[in-house]
Amino acid sequence: MTLMAAGAGGADLSIFTAVYVVGFIAAVAIGSIAWYNSKRPPGWEDKERPKVVPKIDTEENS
């Protein structure tokens, strides 16, 4: 009986870990897109935007 309980607890932990990892990857991806769409730091104004980053229209860009 204790082996089944330990196995079920491991499944819950792996699901939690998977959700945590997917959330972290999503946060990094969204943060990267936001950073690329923000104003460039000094010295980066003339750099081109990577092709994989979508262009977001703002009032400033219109």
pLDDT tens for each residue of 16-44: 899 999 999 999 999 988 887 777 767 77
| pLDDT score recorded for residue 2 | 45
DSSP for residue 54: P
> What is the amino acid identity at position 54?
P
Distances in whole angstroms, Cα of residue 6 to Cα of each of 2, 11, 12, 15, 18: 6, 9, 10, 15, 19
Mean of pLDDT values over 45-56: 78
Which residues are within 8 A (CB) of 49 and not within 5 positions of it... i.e. 6 or more apart?
A: 36, 55
Distances in whole angstroms, Cα of residue 34 to Cα of each of 10, 37, 48: 36, 5, 15
Sorted by where each begins, the domain ranges of the chain are: 29-62
